[in-house]
Amino acid sequence: MSEPRLVVVSNRVGPLDDEGKAGGLAVGLADALRRRGGLWFGWSGETDEAAADGPVKTERHGQTELATIDLTPEENEGFYLGYANRSLWPLLHYRLDLVQFDRSFDRVYHAVNRRFAERLAPLLRPDDLVWVHDYHFFPLGAELRKAGFAGRIGYFLHIPFCPPEIFTALPASHDLVRAMLAYDLVGFQTETDRMNFLAFCTRELGGEVLEGNRVRVGDRTIEVDSFPIGIDAEGYRRFAVSPEAGEHEEMLRDIAKGRPLVVGVDRLDYTKGIVERLLGFERLLEDHEEMRGGVNLLQIAPLSRAELETYAGLRTELEATAGRVNGRFATLDWTPIQIMTTGFTRRALAGIYRAARVCFVTPLRDGMNLVAKEYVAAQDPTDPGVLLLSRFAGARAELEGGALLVNPYNPDTMADALKRALTMKLDERIERFEAMRETVFAGTASRWCDRFLGALADVPAPSQPASEEPPVQAS
Ligand code: ADQ
């Protein structure tokens, strides 16, 4: 029997090649689609006044079809910039202080999910495996059911799922989670996220946790599991020894003049703890005089969601903090912090990682954080660098055996960890690197796809009606 067709739905679609600047999500999905073919459906990235009646634009690449639709400017405002990025993004990252609720966002978010489902449904075949991604599309599965699709639908959330105490602040929290029950399988990055979701289902919706990673709410029983996302580690290792990586590595070593380099790489986003990181670095220079003039911090932070005022404010704050720290400590021949907003190819980035003695990853909250895994994959096993990792990153669960854990809210622990990393002997660096290498090279992006799709293919479709099995206690 032939494999069912894979249909991926995500906000942005492509690219299918793994050469360019694409981030982790796109690379993982592109890999699955290149291997098994299928359909990738999402937003074109374009806005158009007439988008509501616009065509589905398709492009074929070998066995894979990319299909996209436009948004109207009003939909871009209410769905993408509004509900997704002003309400859900901060909320799910535990940032109630930054959340904006507006009932017009809510209305447009649901209307866009409905329109995506209505445009996708005619392209589906009954035995397709549909895999929906991320917080833009919580209700898409329910809308696909209304549009008549009865096959298997899985959902994966790339960002954290916050505890019910926070999620219930969302006016539509009950409706959103009830809509998620239309999926057959719901996947999270970590056990913490999975437990938060189950706690919402049980405490808020009166559901019961069953054996076998299942939860029953009313007459719906679905599977809920964690699937930590990975990277193409072997590909990254090869990128790190490419000529392009070598040029970048060499250039950075020349500029550093023998000083160790600490690198941070993140989209410019308040969840990434970039300003906090700079404060940790400042504390290092403040408390350890011998470090002054002897270490550089390079922060690469490509602009993201620049239309949103919070992000514009963050850029100003970051630049002001870097300027202040530089003004405080710089000498004629040394500037402690360099900030860049450039995007790099994956090869160039691999070279930058390899030149860095320390990778400084300090999110205040992060679904996974692929930069941490990329850094490990890019290291020279005979002279690896040290990963400093926030205890609030999803990647912590897998990498804490080798990384130095830091609390981004506490500049003192960051300064101490930096000092420790910068003076760490080779044998300890190798030991720590090896503890992480195993995880990063085993838990790859392809394994993540295969595990998720394997679990989805095993779910009896369409979803089961309520069973009589006894509940188990959610721990
Ligand atoms: P992001 O929040 O984007 O992803 P992350 O996982 O770190 O965070 O991925 C960022 C990607 O962008 C990495 O692949 C990185 O190499 C790339 N990148 C960053 N700066 C770059 C630059 N200057 N040039 C080129 N590439 C750059 C969301 C969630 C995460 C989750 C991922 C995947 O927020 O928690 O790990 O999805 O599920």
Using the atom order of ligand 1, give the atom closest to the CA of residue 300.
23
Examine the pLDDT at 301 and tell me if it is beyond 80. Answer: yes
Question: Mapping DSSP to helix (H, G, I), strand (E, B) and coil, where does residue 215 land?
Answer: strand
pLDDT digit string, tens, across residues 230-266: 999 999 999 999 999 999 999 999 988 999 999 999 9
Chain segment 313-372, per-residue pLDDT in tens: 999 999 999 999 999 999 999 999 999 999 899 999 999 999 999 999 999 999 999 999
**In this predicted structure, what is the pLDDT of residue 22?**
57
CA 373: distance to chain centroid?
A: 12
Q: Is the confidence at residue 373, as pLDDT, over 80? A: yes
* pLDDT of 463 over the 80 cut: no
Element (H, E) at 265: strand 261-265
Any ligand 1 atom below 6 A from CB of 362: no
Query: For residue 25, how far is its CA from the centre of ligand 1 (angstroms)?
Result: 8
Tally of CB atoms within 10 A around 61: 16
Looking at ligand 1, which residue's alpha carbon is closest to its atom 12?
23
367 ligand 1 Cβ < 6 A: yes
* Bridge-based pairing state of the strands 220-226 and 261-265: unpaired
In short, whether 26's Cβ falls inside 6 Å of ligand 1 is no
Residue 43 is predicted with a pLDDT of 96
pLDDT at residue 467, rounded to an integer: 45
For helices 346-355 and 233-240, the axis angle rounded to 10 degrees is: 70
Mean pLDDT of the chain: 94
pLDDT at 300 over 50: yes
Whose Cα sits closest to atom 10 in ligand 1?
23
Pairwise CA distance, residues 23 & 373, whole Å: 13
**Angstrom distance (rounded) from CA 55 to CA 59:** 13
Say whether 366 is catalytic: yes
Which of 72, 8, 14 is closest to 36 using CA atoms?
A: 8
Residue 459 has pLDDT above 60, yes or no: yes
Measured from the Cα of 393, ligand 1's closest atom is: 35
The three-state secondary structure class of 223 is strand
Could you give the 3-state DSSP secondary structure of residue 1? coil
In the chain, count of helices (H) and strands (E)? Answer: 18, 16
3-state secondary structure of 380: coil
* Cα three-residue angle 58-61-63, rounded to 5 degrees: 105
Domains along the sequence of the chain with CATH: 6-230+447-458 (3.40.50.2000), 234-442 (3.40.50.2000)
Predicted confidence band at 471 (pLDDT cuts at 50, 70, 90)? low
Instruction: Provide the pLDDT for residue 117.
Output: 98
> Of residues 133, 158, 269, 416, which has the active-site annotation?
158
How many Å apart are CA 451 and CA 292, to the nearest integer? 48
DSSP assignment of 153-204 equals EEEE--S----HHHHTTSTTHHHHHHHHTTSSEEEESSHHHHHHHHHIIIII
Q: What is the mean pLDDT of residues 176-188?
A: 98
Query: What's the alpha-carbon Rg for the chain, to the nearest Å?
Result: 23
**d(C-alpha 74, C-alpha 32), whole Å:** 33
pLDDT digits (tens, 9 = 90+) for 186-230: 999 999 999 999 999 999 999 999 999 999 999 999 999 999 999
d(CA 155, CA 180): 8
pLDDT of residue 465: 45
For residue range 64-111, what is the model confidence (pLDDT) as tens digits?
A: 999 999 999 999 999 999 999 999 999 999 999 999 999 999 999 999
Pairwise CA distance, residues 153 & 351, whole Å: 39
What value does the mean pLDDT take over residues 12-30? 74
Element (H, E) at 12: strand 6-12
